[in-house]
Chain A
Amino acid sequence: MPGWIRGSGMIEKKNSMTAVTAQPKVATLIQDELDTPPLTLGQLTWRRFRRHKMALIGGIVLIFLFFYAFGGSLFASEKYANFNDTSISMQQPSVAHPFGTDAIGRDILARTIYGGQISLIIGLFAVMIETFFGILVGALAGYYGGVLDNILMRITEAMLNIPEIFLLIVMAKFFSGKIPDLEITGRTFSGSVVVIVVIIGATSWMYLARIVRAEFLSLKENDFVLAARATGTSNAEIIFRHILPNSFAPIVVTATLGVANAILAEAYISFLGLGVQPPTATWGNMLDGANNYLDTAPWLWFFPALLILLTVLSINFLGDGLRDALDPRSRAS
């Protein structure tokens, strides 16, 4: 999983020769005219975002995928998704079952709908956890520096050096079977969903921590921090109300790309059989064991894999676009 590549994008510097200026009143003979009216930051951001058409397409596809996963439950009940009838197992895509049926006769289309819900939820919640911890560690390390910074960074580095997937596998094995199933709004979720969310969050916060720390290191030298301290603002307030909002941009971009990473991580680990346990479906665990039926039933893996690809692809597009829109220094063609 190329997590670290999230930080780099296509950076092509342009030879920009613009000289946009406002015109004050000068000679009385000549009327004052503004060549180009000034834009607000929001307008500038939207403009740049809009120019990045791929990002827009990514956003649209994502919205479509959300509707597919969550809106789809209006058309097929969860009971139906879990309903297995071995007499119709392993059927090719047909009108009755547009994506075919799986090894124990469940309709794949319905399972991708409900699987999508879980996959997307896992992605979002895992990112929330990793964003929380990433910001916490990064802010504390960057702001206070010294020994605290050293300790936190050693831990961060140590965890970065252990490949994520190994950590995930070990932690998944450790927690398996320990969390009971959940009942929310009348539906049963396997406890393994919570496990997966927690362990993905616990193994991905390091990237954000490093970025946030770097932001804090540079921002805390600014005059506005000095001014805040001089007026007696508490450290917590400085961190959360002064510095943090200024590092908004890289956090948003990292979090967005992090959703893609989380969905992939869930897919990898479910594929290895250690993730979310059936009957709860996710796109990842639908792929488990698919290579046994590679030649006989490609539809078993094709649709969930395609959905994962589409999701990750559109998030990457979106993330790229956000990065260009929010970071004024980097430009892409």
Chain B
Amino acid sequence: MSRYILRRFLQGIPLLFVISLILFMLMMNMGDPIATMGGRSIVRPEERARLTRQLGLDKPIYVQYIYWLIGNDWTKVDLNGDGIAETPGTRHGILRGDFGTSLVNRGESVVQVIGDRLPNTLLLMVASEIVVLLGALLVGIYSALRQYSALDNILTAILFVGYSMPIFFVALLSMYIFSVLFKRWGLPYLPTVGMFDPPVGDTVGQVLLHMILPVLTMSLVSFASYSRYIRSTMLEVMSQDYIRTARAKGLPRTTIVYIHALKNAALPIVTVIGLDLPFLLGGAVVTERIFAWPGTGRLFLDYLGRGDVPVVMGILMIIAVAVVVFQIITDIVYAWLDPRIRYD
């Protein structure tokens, strides 16, 4: 088992390298960092040359990649253009946690810029994931207990539609119903902008209230597809021989579903949770845009538009690492849950 864990982590490393390469190549063509730093003012040629050398943009691509990865504080940079490198570099490289400095927020480290917004996104994502899992489990278990019932069929149909809905449709529709229409009808209505109302302030209650619609949006589509998956997994498990044996032993329905079936269904479900992270992140981008939620998704869009390469790269890399690590954790949990793998 511990060998398995080690192996999975080791497999993740080359993967992360390949990802970093792909992202790096993508970002190299992203725009002109000098122009971004200069903002609206035109940069003088000498300034431009100096900045080019400082940012290492005059070096060949593979060297730039290495500097990005492990920094340049172990070597010297030629700042004054005389051809001799004399100033020690200041970058530590992403492997040591230095993602560079933001071009738009001059002087602020990328880590800080992202760190300011990351918790907000995490709030949405964790809340959505909880809602999705709990809801989908309920649906799946209900289906296993009451297959072919009228409610089960209706549920299946609704889930199918929900699963086909684009996120922005859910967002716009829910905004229209719960905010516009409710307001029009004099009902208490839900807020649709930002994390809190400035007059009231940054209270827990305000944040929770503002979270409702974004979380609803992010979770609906995932909920529908998870439910379908859990439902079909449960049904497949319920048709297995060992369930027939359990019935033949006269065990009560609840024991059969909650213990015999669910424990087996949990295995593929855990795998699926692991695979879902990229999509949750993607959903966050659209949701944050629509609800003006100050999270990393919006940060990404804004700063991409403004050409802040380090911040955008930082976000992408963090996402990639999160996805890979999450999948590894999922695999390990799966291996731990399945006695066939655990006791080998």
Contacts and interface: CB of A to CB of B under 8 A. Distances in A.
- Chain B binds chain A: yes
B19 A162 contact: yes
Nearest to A3: B279
A294 B30 contact: no
B225 to A, nearest CB: 4
Contact of B232 (A9, A157, A174): A9
Contacts of B324: 161
B41 interface: no
Nearest to A333: B148
Interface string A304-327: 010011001100110000000000
A214 interface: no
A75 interface: no
A20 to B, nearest CB: 22
A264 interface: yes
B301 A313 contact: no
B66 interface: no
Contacts of A167: 26
A12 interface: yes
A10 B164 contact: no
Contacts of A160: 278
B331 to A, nearest CB: 13
B221 to A, nearest CB: 6
Q: Chain A CB within 10 Å — which of B31, B165, B278, B300 has the most? A: B278
A271 interface: yes
Contacts of A162: 19, 22-23, 278, 316, 319-320, 323
Nearest to A315: B164
A313 B158 CA distance: 11
B333 to A, nearest CB: 18
Nearest to B148: A333
Interface in B297-323: 300-301, 304-305, 312, 316, 319-320, 323
A13 B243 CA distance: 14
B26 A170 contact: yes
A171 B229 CA distance: 32
Contact of A316 (B29, B164, B168): B164
Contacts of B14: 154
B169 A161 contact: no
B279 A163 contact: yes
Nearest to A151: B18
B101 interface: no
A14 B166 CA distance: 33
A214 to B, nearest CB: 16
B222 interface: yes
A8 B279 contact: no
Contact of B165 (A3, A155, A291, A309): A309
B186 to A, nearest CB: 15
B176 interface: yes
Contacts of A13: 236, 239
Contacts of A170: 26-27, 30, 304, 312, 316
A305 B229 contact: no
B77 interface: no
Interface in B144-198: 148, 156, 160-161, 163-169, 171-173, 175-176, 179-180, 183, 192
B18 A158 contact: yes
Contact of A312 (B31, B164, B316, B323): B164
21 contacts: A1-B279, A2-B221, A9-B228, A12-B236, A12-B239, A15-B239, A161-B320, A161-B324, A163-B279, A163-B319, A169-B300, A169-B301, A173-B304, A267-B168, A268-B286, A291-B172, A291-B175, A295-B179, A305-B169, A309-B164, A312-B166
Given A2-B163, A166-B285, A317-B160, 4 more contacts: A1-B279, A4-B276, A164-B282, A305-B166
